Structure 1
Amino acid sequence: MQSVLDRIPLRRFPLRHRVAAAFALVSLVVTGLFATVTWNVAALYLVEQRVEGATRQADGNVALVERTLAANPRGEGLDDLLTGLAGTPGITVALHRGGGWTTSGRTVELDDLPSPLLDLARSGTPARQRVLVEGVPSLVIAVPLDGGDMFVEVLPLQLLDTNLRLLGWILTVGVAASTVLGLGLGHWAGMRALLPLTELARAAGRVAGGDLSARLPDSSDAELAPLVATFNRNTDALEQRVRRDARFAADVSHELRSPLTTLINAVAVLRRRRGELPPTAQQAVDLLDGDVHRFRRMVEDLLEISRSDTLEREPWELGALVRGLVATRSGAPVPEVDAPEPVTVPVDRRRLDQVLGNLLDNADAHGGGALRVGVSARAGRGRIEVDDGGPGVPPEQRTAVFERFARGTLAGRRGDGDGTGLGLSLVSAHVRRHDGEVWIEERPGGGARVVVELPGEAG
């Protein structure tokens, strides 16, 4: 049968929180056990000391009463003696003699005292008991006298009870403070212990975001050093492979430009003499012309993706850039530019123009044309939204469309579109270089909305 702890979903909590909770639990158990033992030992000691002292005092009082009664059988001076014995405030002294009670000190109802205690004293056996007398914790001592008489003393334990309560509160506060201290110490220890993992996760995130220069600092820890060395070695290998692939793509694209230029010129000649060709040849020329131009755009996109030159950032007003780009486009529906306030961010103008151009081209190819381009500021970041009225992008494809050669529903189909499959991939690469984000969501009213957020001072 599983225990209660086994049924608690501890794995849902972060590891550092579980470490902190473990420290707090251990601290609670240890200090709680220590406080319990301390309180019990202290209470037992204090109560025993009080009871033993009161018993010795009662024995001495009984000896005085017996000597007085021996010297004066009629009880002369007994009242004065009892008054003296009850001199301490709160103490009650009572003598049962001749069938009646003689009392002095604090007034209590003697009939309310425990009957078994009094019966035991009447039978000749001294007895004592801790009880509540009129709401006050008290110690009742009953001692038998010669001739069937009985001496009873009621001593209040209110001060002792107050001290024990104070000790209990002090120990409780100490346990609570120790638990909080354990929680804080566990949180600190968890953060310190997980710091290498945090650095590893941060470095891995940078690598996943395209920053292949991310490395872990060298560690002298015997357990962490192999992990650091393995991560840095794998990252080095990944960076070299990516650079080789980029160099290969750049070299291939560059080498393709010369024969591609020859093809374009040859197709241009054929286009000028198209009227002299038979119908079948004319169709072949048309197909060749479209594929050659798409091939040229693909080579240009590959060259752009493989470029590793640094960003030349300057502060630009996004609304003005969007309006200028939309105004220069022709042969396509003119989208509405929604930029109610200036939004300025530091960007590379050339790359941002390419991002906007590719997004508008993508909307023309797959969404029936862009309907709206919105510019706004969100929490210190510049935001660009490109809306179209097309069928939208299914949620399961909204990440895949940013991969290279992903053309959505047109992938693998010839002649249904002239896209290269690299437009959104290039958009994602440029946005990542700006430390920004790009994603696709559903446009209110139907269609797709591509959102680009760029960091920087917006205003």
Structure 2
Amino acid sequence: MRRLPLHLRVMVWFGLVSLAVCSALAVLTWNMATGYMLDQRERAALNQATANSRLVAGALDEGGLRELVTGLGAELESAVMVIDGGRVITGGNLIDPTRLPREFTDLVTSGTPVRQRTMLDGAVVLAVGLTMPQSTAAYVEVFPLRELDRTFRYLGWMLTVGAACGGLAGAVLGRWAARHALAPLGRMIEAAGRAARGDLSVRLPDAGDADLIPLARAFNDTAEGLERRVARDARFAGDVSHELRSPLTTMLNAMAVLRRRRGELPPGALPAVDLLDNELHRFRRLVGDLLEISRTDPEADALDPELIDLAQLVREAISVLPTSRAVLDVTGSPRVHADRRSLERIVTNLVDNANQHGGGLVRVGVSGDGRTARVEVDDDGPGVPADQRDTVFERFARGAPADRGHSGGVGLGLALVSQHVHRHGGTVTVTDRPGGGARFTVEFPEATP
């Protein structure tokens, strides 16, 4: 039961409780109805047997007893038996009263009135035994309970079906109640998922329920606090990047002068100059990525979407990159509504990631199925471990050198890819490439013709 989803548990419990309540009411109704009907039938049978016994008592001395007993048995659907000493007279052809239990007949002949339900000839009967006043004779009348038994069976089936329908109705009611009661939880899950995907502007509406208002407010306060913090971090990154551009430009110009006068430098200084040159270029990439990150956060400029031939854009983007080993595999003619600069940055970053961290670019695939446009970038590296496939798209996430190589990256390239993709309503994932390596897959909604 605990492993079932919450809405199923609510439905099952509603059904079980309804079934239990309906079953209890059915049992109570059965006992009261059957008890009442049996009591009324026994009273009527006793009154009838008493009246008939008086008729029989009057005929004991006057004669015509056998004709009277036969007439009573023929007129009624009961069987009549008179025991007068060793003489036994019966009437009625539906039931044989002589087959009554011996204990019953012994009690009647001993002068004890008896009333008993029993089985006789495969049918439920009510046997009434009376003693006749001023006589040693005993009067026995047997009443079939076929109609009452049929009524009981019908009533039992109706109550059973009613209890089952009550349990089913309870399960349906539980499903309806669970769906409506858990609807706010579903909205919260959806909102939390959007927030986890980077949409920190999501808020939960005021449901008007006193029990849910504190939860909605707590979620909204948390999301608002995160949004403010991310915006503050973005502004900080942008401010720092802008402040670093001036000294960085100065250092790059100075390095350009050193490169032009490389022949005038002592041989021992050349390795230091080369190392400084590499670090300056890495620093320039870091500053550029930080500026890009700050522009793609909540305060980013608006996109300028246009209808783009995805295959042509990818072909142009990789034509200026060192991808001599790469194979461009195009299937179909997918088109998307997107910002061209953002798409170019996505492709460029994925190709750079494959060349710098993945052992080299192997293949770039472009395909579409009418609903989804897809770009696949395959590399020849060791792949991305399963436990790092989500964190690899986070800012400053850098795999271990043994996993993805080491080329001085700053860990912002894939984060930029993820942000650009999500701004276009797409998804980016990484899986294993058939044959080894990693496959980065970007999917966008394909533009309808």
TM-score, length-scaled by structure 2: 0.88
CA contact (8 A) 2:80 2:97 kept: no
Summarize the Cα distance change of 1:378–1:179 in structure 2 as closer, same or farther, 3 Å threshold. Answer: farther
Q: Note the 1:229-244 alignment, pairs <5 A.
A: 229-244=217-232
> Which residue among 423, 426, 438 is the counterpart of 1:433?
423
2:311–2:366 Cα contact (<8 Å) kept: yes
Q: Partner residue of 2:107?
A: 120
Partners of 2:179 and 2:33 lie apart in 1 by: 39
Q: Distance in 2 between matches of 1:333 and 1:56?
A: 112
Q: Aligned residue pairs: how many?
A: 444
Cα gap change, 1:173 to 1:430, in 2 (>3 Å): same
**Which 10-residue stretch deviates more, 337-346 or 425-434?**
337-346
Paired with 2:346 and 2:426, the residues of 1 have a C-alpha distance of 12
**What is the Cα-based RMSD across aligned positions, in Å?**
2.9
Aligned to 2:66: 78
How big is the shift at 1:163? 1.5
Q: Is the 8 A contact 1:384 1:453 kept in 2?
A: yes
How far is 1:98 from its partner? 6.2
The corresponding residue for 2:313 is 321
Residue 341 of structure 1 aligns with an amino acid whose one-letter code is: G
User: How far off is 1:149 after superposition?
Assistant: 3.9
CA–CA separation in structure 2 for the residues paired with 1:421 and 1:102? 112
Task: State the distance in 1 between where 2:150 and 2:159 align.
Answer: 14
Change (3 A) 1:331 1:235: closer
Q: 1:249 — aligned with what?
A: 237
Q: How does 1:126-205 map to 2 (within 5 A)?
A: 126-145=113-132, 148-205=136-193
Deviates more, 1:338-347 or 1:244-253: 338-347
3-state SS, counterpart of residue 331 of structure 2: coil
AA matched with 1:140: A
The match for 2:33 among 42, 47, 57 is: 42
- Aligned pair in 2 of structure 1 residues 46, 366: CA closer, same or farther (>3 Å)? same
* 1:250-280 Cα deviation digits (max 9, x unpaired): 1222232233233223222322322332222
1:210-259 CA-partner distances (Å, limit 9, x unpaired): 11221222354444333333333333232222112111211222232233
| Alignment equivalent of 1:417, drawn from 407, 417, 429 | 407
Structure 1's unaligned 5+ residue stretches are 1-8
Whether the 8 Å CA contact 1:86–1:93 is kept in 2: the answer is no
| CA displacement at 1:379 relative to structure 2 | 9.2
Aligned partner of 1:389 in structure 2 is 380
Verify the 8 A CA contact 2:97 2:142 in the aligned structure 1.
no
- Give how far 1:56 is off: 1.2
Return 5+ residue gaps in structure 2 as ranges.
Answer: none
- Tell which deviates more after alignment, 101-110 or 245-254: 101-110
How far is 1:64 from its partner? Answer: 1.4
Give the CA deviation at 1:378: 6.9
1:355 to 331, 346, 351: 346
- Please give the TM-score of this superposition, normalised by the length of structure 1: 0.87
Question: Counterpart in 1 of 2:16?
Answer: 25
> What corresponds to 1:92 in structure 2?
79
Question: Is the contact made by 1:250 and 1:306 (CA closer than 8 Å) also made in structure 2?
Answer: yes
Kindly provide the amino acid, as one letter, of the partner of residue 305 in structure 2: R
Q: Please show how residues 273-352 of structure 1 align to structure 2 within 5 Å.
A: 273-307=261-295, 308-326=300-318, 328-352=319-343
1:259 aligns with 2:280: no
Return the alpha-carbon distance in structure 2 between the equivalents of residues 387 and 88 of structure 1: 98
Shift of 1:453: 2.6
Range moving further from structure 2, 360-369 or 214-223 = 214-223
Amino acid paired to 1:297 = R
Q: Distance in 2 between matches of 1:138 and 1:409?
A: 91
Q: For the structure 1 residues 382 and 96, does the alpha-carbon distance in structure 2 shift closer, same or farther, using more than 3 Å as the test?
A: farther
Per-residue CA distance 1:379-411 (angstroms, 9 max, x = gap): 933333322221112222222221212221139
Residue 451 of structure 1: aligned partner:
441
Q: Give the secondary structure class of the aligned counterpart of 1:106.
A: coil
State whether residues 377 and 458 of structure 1, in contact with CA within 8 Å, keep that contact through their aligned partners in structure 2. Answer: no
